[in-house]
Structure 1
């Protein structure tokens, strides 16, 4: 069940990050990957600032996804 929650939260966080960053959606799989990696980045940067509930995890993942999308945008030289 933990893997399923990780995928769901990652997808929502990746989608939310893509909407806020205005970089466009990367599709379901791309959003899940960006959201999960973004969750790690967000936790590294913010810790449990938004709390440990599902909403806090989504917000932390979204912040990390925005950072990840910005880094990808800088490295690739194109808008992601």
Structure 2
């Protein structure tokens, strides 16, 4: 099965929480990697998301490091929406 990965930078203006990350994350730019697999048997190319990961700064004792954490795309969208709403207030 054909796979592809997409990378994008997203920005948060305020500190935020994500399910699966047990701490408050600081505002800033974050790289998000989305893995997708091709849906076979169609007359056109189509992909389905199979994984979403975010690169976050390491926890307090490992701040110089970066962690790749698997997250739900819905949780990420919710965090982005909350950040946009809070930034307008």
Same fold (TM over 0.5): no
Question: Relative contact order, CA 8 A, sep 6+: which one is greater?
Answer: 1
Q: Give the structure with the larger helix fraction.
A: 1
Larger of the two Rg values belongs to structure: 2
